[in-house]
Amino acid sequence: MTGNNIRGAIAAGHELTAKAGAAMLREGGTAMDAGVAALAMACVCEPVLASPGGGGFAMIKRADTGTVSLIDFFPQTPKRRGPNASEGFVDILADFGTATQRFHIGPASVATPGFFRGVEAISADGARFSLCDLFDPAIQAARGGVTVTPYQSHLAKIVLAILTSTPDAARLFAPGGSPPPAGGTVYNPDLGFALETMARGGFADSEIGRTILKMQADRGNLTKHDLEVYQVQHRDPLEIACGGSSVFLNPLPAASGTIIAYALDRLAGPAPIDMARALDTADRARTQADGDLAVLSRAPLRQKGTTHISVADAEGNACAITVSNGAGNGEVVDGFGFMLNNILGEEDVNPFGGADWPADTRLASMMCPTLVIEPDGGICALGSGGSNRIRSAIFQTLARHCVRGETLAEAITAPRMHVEAGHLDIEGQFRDGDLADCIAAFPDHRIWPGGNMFFGGVHGVRCGPDGRLTGIGDPRRDGVALIVE
């Protein structure tokens, strides 16, 4: 989508998410206003992927200062282990159709949520409207009902065991024993009340925080101190040169940016086989690093249940925001309509195990909101959901856009691949010669018949040097892009 003389562009994983941000741009808000409004709406219409009980990262470029900064609001491990927390883990199996996967949920799987503090920090970094104004579209949608999309219905079926693991969760997410079908309407007035409470400035010291602590008292780890002292971390991005552009990636302790930078540094050429080999080299280095990714940095991890929002405005502000709730811990905060995270139960984020995680620590994540400043001054904001495929999706998008010179839309919609442990997964839409080269180099491979959500969902926007704004939502994950006049 393209346009001239416009206020901004937003790309996200749901039409309502994009529309909430677009409404703020239309009213004269900045990219940061739009990002916060979209985040709140994502909690309503993308509840499997976004929740006030989780957290994430935001990469922000401010037009007034020209600076690029990273806001880390990922969940933090609690400061101490609860005395009965060993009893607070529940193992369940999620059904992916061709395979099942074991998840660790329950009260002991919850890390300190960072969502609300992140929203405050993004808003403070250039928003013009109050949180009450920014949250209002989401509050109204939660109370008035949202229509379930086929993609959201599919996600709910995959994690149905989590959504029905407690009576309260089942009543909210699967009334009658199954999630509402595509086209059905979901109402969540409790979530509307939660967002209203947060908009007035309350989380840790509100009834929301007190309710969370009651739920954590017997078999969890969180204390009042955890909620009260949680702080976002402002970090300098990992900045690299790529094809003449400056690329800003999520730095350590997040894993993603370092791995993507390592792969880009070893990209021998622009062909798909070159991308496959660079991905393989980076994955082997990741494995050999044995968790110490600092050895890959120029100066074993993934994240389930992620969604991404990219925004740029006509003034030159841009933000890329990726959030996650893990897979959810199965418990709905009573009276507030959202599920807490299960970050301590995510083996790929917390490889230490439920009883052996490091206290008071930011764990690594594969999420990587990304900004690109092009040689001519153009700015791109992009990012992806997609578990451990996030790094591959963003790497290929950057390689195609910055090195091959493809437009952002071409780079995002192009066929994609992922290499891990010597195994190649590849979409079959590559040109015959490129596909043949890749599968010849990787005898252990699987060809996917079409674009698939397995390969992530990169949503991106671009502000050209002439102020022209474009946006693209990845069709693999129901992406939507809106240009706001």
Does 67 qualify as catalytic in the annotation?
no
Query: Cis ω on the peptide bond leading into residue 253 (within 30° of 0)?
Result: yes
Give the span between the Cα atoms of 227 and 461, in whole angstroms.
Answer: 34
User: Where in 203-272 does DSSP place strands (E)?
Assistant: 233-235, 238-242, 245-249
Residue pair 469/8 in contact by the 8 Å Cβ criterion: yes
Q: 261: which DSSP letter?
A: H
User: Which among 167, 161, 42, 112 has a CA at the least distance from the CA of 343?
Assistant: 112
Q: 400: which DSSP letter?
A: I
Q: Which two tokens mark 17?
A: 């998410």
Give the span between the Cα atoms of 250 and 269, in whole angstroms.
Answer: 24
Residue pair 382/397 in contact by the 8 Å Cβ criterion: yes
Provide the phi-psi class of 238: left if phi over 0, else alpha when psi is between -120 and 50, else beta.
beta
With b for 16 or more beta-carbon neighbours within 10 A and e for fewer, the 232-255 pattern comes to beebebbbbebbebbbbbbbbbbb
Rg for the chain (alpha carbons), in Å?
Answer: 21
Single out the catalytic residue among 306, 370, 413, 470.
Answer: 306
Residue 359 burial (CB count, 10 A): 11
Residue pair 18/480 in contact by the 8 Å Cβ criterion: yes
Residue pair 72/235 in contact by the 8 Å Cβ criterion: yes
Report the catalytic residues.
Answer: 306
